Amino acid sequence: MIKMMRAAAAVAILTSGMGSVGCVGAGASGRPTLEDRARNVYDPCYPERYNHAARQAVLAPFAQQVHNGQVLNQTIFTYYFETGSDKLTSAGVEKLDSISRTRPAPDPKLYLQTAMDVPVTDATAGKITELRADLDAKRAAAIQKYLATVPSFAPISYEIFVHNPATPGINAEFSANPYRASGQGYRGGLVGLTGSGAVSTGGGQGTSLSSPAGTGSGGGTVAPR
């Protein structure tokens, strides 16, 4: 009986030892196989492993830009409130409506630009931080109060974080000038360059866009060379 118990214990110890080896291959002699040695020389996951790393290196900066754009889109700037007040303007109401209508579901994380419209004077210089924090809290409460009145198919718990981003935008002249000139027809970026013989018209109704052999005097098109 004692011999049988000792044999069973030996089998259990041997089995647990084999389990600890895991996926490490071993030949009949217990030494690493040729495949195990080859894995020490080359990467069996090539090139997928490196393609994944390269893909992440390319997408990571773009993902950061997308995140930054989403944060700015979710930001309620100070100009959406009346100056020095927590009252939303009509533009602020439209902004909150736009956010709440996002499909398939609105992003519950909102951002509030800190109250930089609080004037700094000799009387407020020593407590400007407290004044801004107090107005930030009132504006956040006003946002929550309005969003609670917006119809939604499912209850949404909005979170509001305060930060101080730069106001996004570009010089309006870049878009205003082409808009004003749009009524005069399209104008390309290269100005003052005229071609010689690029377009030839006949004496009548014909037009040729090829390099002409000459100018016609009739009603047909000028044949190219």
Domain ranges (residues) in the chain: 71-163
Q: What is the pLDDT of residue 63?
A: 95
Q: What is the pLDDT of residue 8?
A: 53
Distances (CA, A) of 143 to 28, 87, 95, 118, 209: 73, 9, 11, 19, 61
Q: What is the pLDDT of residue 155?
A: 85
Residues in the chain, pLDDT under 50: 11, 14-15, 17-23, 197-212, 214-218, 222
Distance CA 58, CA 52 (A): 10
Distance CA 96, CA 75 (A): 10
SS3 15: helix
Q: For strand 207-208 and strand 109-113, is the pairing parallel, antiparallel, or unpaired?
A: unpaired
Would you say 147 and 93 are in contact if contact means Cβ atoms under 8 Å apart? Answer: no
SS3 64: helix
Distances (CA, A) of 155 to 84, 106, 158: 31, 11, 10
